[in-house]
Chains A and B, each alone.
Chain A
Amino acid sequence: GNSVTQMEGPVTLSEEAFLTINCTYTATGYPSLFWYVQYPGEGLQLLLKATKADDKGSNKGFEATYRKETTSFHLEKGSVQVSDSAVYFCALSDQGDSWGKLQFGAGTQVVVTP
């Protein structure tokens, strides 16, 4: 079956540091890949997505590239801010065999200190 594995947190960084959150997936078909973010006390918000191999999703300074050869979709940001403190979820949707359901990784908490 399909699954998503992402690095465990918490990840603690200083402001302006470089952030990487690793995400790998297994899928039987050709999934779309997503990063969702959950700020404290709020729901899930789409951060970025990529729908096919070699696509790069980007938003708010975050980037992730869909790598089919390594089945990865690592999230990066060059210079984090305190406001980036949140839980980040990698997710996939395998359109070929589902009605669009999302399968999530366990989430990675990121804490950015001033």
Chain B
Amino acid sequence: EPEVTQTPSHQVTQMGQEVILRCVPISNHLYFYWYRQILGQKVEFLVSFYNNEISEKSEIFDDQFSVERPDGSNFTLKIRSTKLEDSAMYFCASTPGREETQYFGPGTRLLVL
């Protein structure tokens, strides 16, 4: 069964450094999402992406964040200058249609020191 994959599974970085989290969505899916889950808190929507552009973003998704689909398979989340409060589990999700079920990757656990 096709699945969403994410790399790396864990990343530790110093405050102020740039990180890129990578996702490979399911191949025939058209809508892509990033969510995050700070330890012990709820899963929060960050951004949705369709047709090579951001379709919706939350207030969390400020200028420090960007997303890109650099080729036909990868979908990346970049945090330009990490802060301590960016420490969280980041989940990628994809779906073939806007009203279809979202399939989640296993997540990347980011720790900012």
Contact = CB atoms under 8 A, between A and B. Distances in A.
B42 A101 contact: no
A104 B55 contact: no
A97 to B, nearest CB: 10
Interface in A30-52: 32, 34, 36, 42-46, 49, 51
B56 A99 contact: yes
B99 A100 contact: yes
Nearest to A98: B56
Most A CB atoms within 10 A — which of B93, B102, B105? B102
Contacts of A89: 42-43
B48 A100 contact: yes
B80 interface: no
Contacts of A34: 101
Interface string B24-47: 000000010101000001111100
A99 B30 CA distance: 12
Interface in B64-98: 91, 93, 95, 98
Contact of A99 (B55, B93, B105, B106): B55
A102 B106 contact: no
A34 B95 CA distance: 15
A43 B102 contact: no
Interface string A56-95: 0000000000000000000000000000000001010101
Contacts of B107: 43
Interface of A: 32, 34, 36, 42-46, 49, 51, 89, 91, 93, 95, 98-107
27 contacts: A43-B104, A44-B43, A44-B93, A46-B101, A46-B103, A51-B99, A89-B42, A89-B43, A91-B43, A95-B99, A98-B56, A99-B48, A99-B50, A100-B31, A100-B33, A100-B95, A100-B98, A100-B99, A100-B100, A101-B33, A101-B45, A101-B48, A102-B45, A102-B102, A104-B43, A104-B44, A107-B42
